[in-house]
């Protein structure tokens, strides 16, 4: 069965610090997709990134970067030089090939303190 | 495009009343998902549709919940009769493709049942 674990329930860091959000997943499929979503205080979930299981290259987008490691079944998300606007709940999610559904982790609430 | 539209944004009702939540997906998206978010259970998939047909309703908590999609541009989630434990934020999301495609979420409906 597929499962996504975000062990960090809540994190607080001071603005400009780097922070990494952990995500560990479980799946029996060799083909699958991993996602990160952001839920700001306004409430709407916003898609950030999708990776497929065959592409282990790290991704960087501005201050955001993602580290995908199949050997440890992890897909971690790092925010560099954090800003107050990064405060949100971040969800990691998994979808197996052939499945229409996305399974979400419980989320990590990130507080960026000014 | 206007994005996924949900109405109402907030609903307060008394136990026993019927509640209807509405969703307009993004035009051209073949998949529509209904989720419920609570602090205790996180983000749960209730039901999803493909081309207006319900595919998986295994997440619907009980017979008091029902969902319909009469056409490609409209879906409803109905709770009858409502109970206080139904209080949650209900999200609608649409997707242009199967599980490997990102989902676009609406702003959610915050339901409070007193």
- Residue B1's pLDDT is 62
Cβ proximity of A22 and A109 under 8 Å: no
Arithmetic mean of pLDDT, B23-50: 94
Cβ proximity of A75 and A94 under 8 Å: no
CB contact, 8 Å: A41 with chain B? no
User: How far is the C-alpha of B108 from the C-alpha of B37, rounded, in Å?
Assistant: 9
Residue B49: C-alpha distances to residues A8, A40, A97 (Å): 32, 27, 18
User: How far is the C-alpha of A50 from the C-alpha of A35, rounded, in Å?
Assistant: 4
Residues of B in contact with A44 (CB under 8 A): 105-108
- Residue A19's pLDDT is 98
Helix (H, G, I), strand (E, B) or coil at B23: strand
- Residue B80's pLDDT is 96
pLDDT band with cut points at 50, 70 and 90 for residue B99: low
**Which residues of chain B from 58 to 87 reach within 8 Å of chain A, CB to CB?**
none
Q: Which residues of chain A have pLDDT under 70?
A: none
**Which residues of chain B from 8 to 47 reach within 8 Å of chain A, CB to CB?**
31, 33, 42-43, 45
Q: Inter-chain contact B105–A46, Cβ cutoff 8 Å? A: yes
Q: Tell me: the pLDDT tens digits for B69-83?
A: 999 999 999 999 999
Query: Is the predicted pLDDT of residue B68 greater than 90, yes or no?
Result: yes
**Residue A48 token pair:** 């950030």
Q: Determine if residue A42 is left, alpha or beta; phi over 0 gives left, psi from -120 to 50 gives alpha, anything else beta.
A: alpha
A17 Cβ contact list (under 8 Å, min separation 6) = A81, A82
Q: What percent of chain A has pLDDT over 90?
A: 84
User: How far is the C-alpha of B15 from the C-alpha of B77, rounded, in Å?
Assistant: 17
CB contact, 8 Å: A36 with chain B? no
Q: Which of A91, A98, A99 sits opposite B43 (nearest CB)?
A: A91
DSSP class of A84: G
Cβ proximity of A39 and A88 under 8 Å: yes
């Amino acid at each position: 069965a597929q499962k996504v674990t975000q062990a960090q329930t809540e994190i607080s860091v001071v603005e400009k610090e780097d922070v990494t959000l952990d995500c560990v997943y479980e799946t029996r499929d060799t083909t699958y997709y991993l996602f990160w979503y952001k839920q700001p205080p306004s409430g709407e979930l916003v898609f950030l990134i999708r990776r497929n299981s065959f592409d282990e290259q790290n991704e960087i987008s501005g201050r955001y970067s993602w580290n995908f490691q199949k050997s440890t079944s992890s897909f971690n998300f790092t925010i560099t030089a954090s800003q107050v606007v990064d405060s949100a709940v971040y969800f990691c999610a998994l979808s197996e090939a052939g499945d229409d559904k996305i399974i979400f982790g419980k989320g990590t609430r990130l507080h960026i303190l000014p | 495009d206007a994005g996924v539209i949900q109405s109402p944004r907030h609903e307060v009702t008394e136990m026993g009343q019927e509640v209807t939540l509405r969703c307009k997906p993004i035009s051209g998206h073949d998949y529509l998902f209904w989720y419920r978010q609570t602090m205790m259970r996180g983000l749960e998939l209730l039901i999803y549709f493909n081309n207006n047909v319900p595919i998986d309703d295994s997440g619907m908590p009980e017979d008091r919940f029902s969902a319909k999609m009469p056409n490609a541009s409209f879906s409803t989630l109905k709770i009858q009769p409502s109970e206080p434990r139904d209080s949650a934020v209900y999200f609608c999301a649409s997707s242009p493709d199967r599980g490997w495609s990102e989902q676009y979420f609406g702003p959610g409906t915050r339901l409070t049942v007193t």
